[in-house]
Amino acid sequence: MFRHNKKPIWFYLLVTLAAIGLISQLLTNTTTFFTTILTIIGSAVLIYGVIYFLFFRSKNTTELKKYKKAVKQSKNRKKQFTAINQVKGKKNNLSKKTRDHKHAPHLRVIDGKKGKRKDRATF
């Protein structure tokens, strides 16, 4: 039922050797260790930045512009709606909401075959 991920022994051996190597580098050549770590981090950030600007940035800008435009339109509509409600008052607004729910034009009742119900005793 439960799946246990048992890692092979060579994985633990590899992790142990890597930890021993890092500790020995840190204790013997501290400055070169930190220089190497900073170089690796810097090159990774540089590669990520180049890939991001070449491939992902152009796609996101058009979608982001459309999203920002939609948000702006939504905010403008909300401002207009709240301004109209403040002018009308809360009483008119409540009566309109209840009336809309009773007579929704997009809903209709479908009459089924009520006269032809199956006799459950015959099963």
d(CA 56, CA 106): 42
Between helix 30-51 and helix 9-28 the angle, nearest 10°, is: 120
**Any domain includes 115:** no
- Per-residue model confidence as pLDDT tens digits over 35-83: 999 999 999 999 999 998 888 766 666 777 888 888 998 888 887 777 6
**Any domain includes 45:** yes
pLDDT at 116: 63
Expressed as residue numbers, the domain containing 19 is 9-103
**Any domain includes 17:** yes
pLDDT at 98 over 60: no
d(CA 23, CA 30): 10
pLDDT at 88 over 90: no
**Any domain includes 13:** yes
d(CA 114, CA 53): 65
CB 75 within 8 A of CB 67: no
**Any domain includes 39:** yes
Question: pTM for this structure?
Answer: 0.39
Average pLDDT over residues 6-22: 91
**Any domain includes 112:** no
**Any domain includes 59:** yes
Number of domains forming the structure of the chain: 1
Percentage of the chain exceeding pLDDT 90:
33
